[in-house]
Amino acid sequence: MADQYAVIGNPIEHSKSPYIHRRFAELTNQDLEYGKLLGDLEHFAADVQDFFGSGGRGMNVTVPFKEQAWRLADELGAEAHTAGAVNTLTALDDGRVRGDNTDGLGLVRDLQQNQGLDISGKRVLLLGAGGASKGVARPLLEQNPRILVIANRTAERARDLADQLQGFGVVAGCGLNDLHDEQFDLIINGTAAGLAGEVPRIPRICFGKGAWAYDMMYAAEPTAFVSWAQEHGAAHAVDGLGMLVEQAAESFFLWRGVRPDTDIVIKELRS
């Protein structure tokens, strides 16, 4: 019987993860099955226990369960430990479950390898302080930006996250309303506002000359944030489809020990 993997979230029907991992399996000659599970908002832990109890080998975790997955894991990878959020669960041989976070690695790889943007020395603004932003903040800092500013609707959450990241690089937290005349080279949307077609309102001046805008969300059409950023001065604006594929590739590597060709899958999804 093929090894069983799945993605869990709520909502989940839109997820491209099953297609991505099945293509990875085909490209690397791996025998596995990958499905999707609609997680119960009140009984996430039971859903995970049922999956692994029935022989599941690995699980991707998406909105809104990443922080619950962090609390559930018996063992944590370094990025997950710092982030307080998990997007990859792996069954260990001793029956325990390991939690990792591959979101940040996926984001960095998409920006640097696929988009050709060197983060070193850049002024970076990260919008949001929830599970998505927690997962990418440390890997972003490890690329040595000039500064990483985390801005959130609730300023205290942004400052708390920045405090947790002291020692990894130059980082500060503030409220969205505290952004006035600062300019950035890269603005990353890590909020869930796009699910409702909304965008976090920031001043036009935040988009410095040649600035990049990156939405961690993805869609068939330009996302609300990508469209808004293009209208407000971003020189380049892209969605998170590449990040989705790259973080999936890192999860696949953790599970199977082989790294698939992401370029092929990104092009297939774009078309």
Residues annotated catalytic, as ranges: 66
- Confirm or deny that 122 is annotated as ligand binding: no
For residue 2, with 0-12 CB atoms within 10 Å meaning exposed, 13-18 middle and 19 or more buried, which class applies? exposed
Of 241, 236, 134, 139, nearest to 191 by C-alpha is 134
216 among annotated binding-site residues? yes
What is the rounded distance in angstroms from the CA atom of residue 157 to the CA atom of residue 153? 9
> Whats the size of the chain, residue-wise?
271
Q: Tell whether residue 166 is among the known ligand binding residues.
A: no
Count of beta carbons in the 10 Å neighbourhood of residue 153: 16
132 is in an annotated binding site: yes
Residue 153 is labelled as binding a ligand? yes
**16 belongs to an annotated ligand binding site:** yes
Residue that is written with structure tokens 């000359």 in the block: 209
- Residues 222, 240: Cα–Cα separation, whole Å: 11
Token reading at 141: 């800092």
268 is in an annotated binding site: no
Residues 28 and 256: their CA atoms lie apart, in Å, by: 10
The annotation status of 129 as a binding-site residue, yes or no, is yes
Residue 173 marked ligand-binding: no
Residue 37: closest CA among 56, 22, 268:
56
- 54 marked among binding-site residues: no
Q: Which residues sit in the known binding site for shikimate?
A: 15-17, 62, 87, 103, 218, 247
Q: Which residues sit in the known binding site?
A: 15-17, 62, 87, 103, 128-132, 152-157, 216, 218, 240, 247
Q: Which residues sit in the known binding site for NADP(+)?
A: 128-132, 152-157, 216, 240
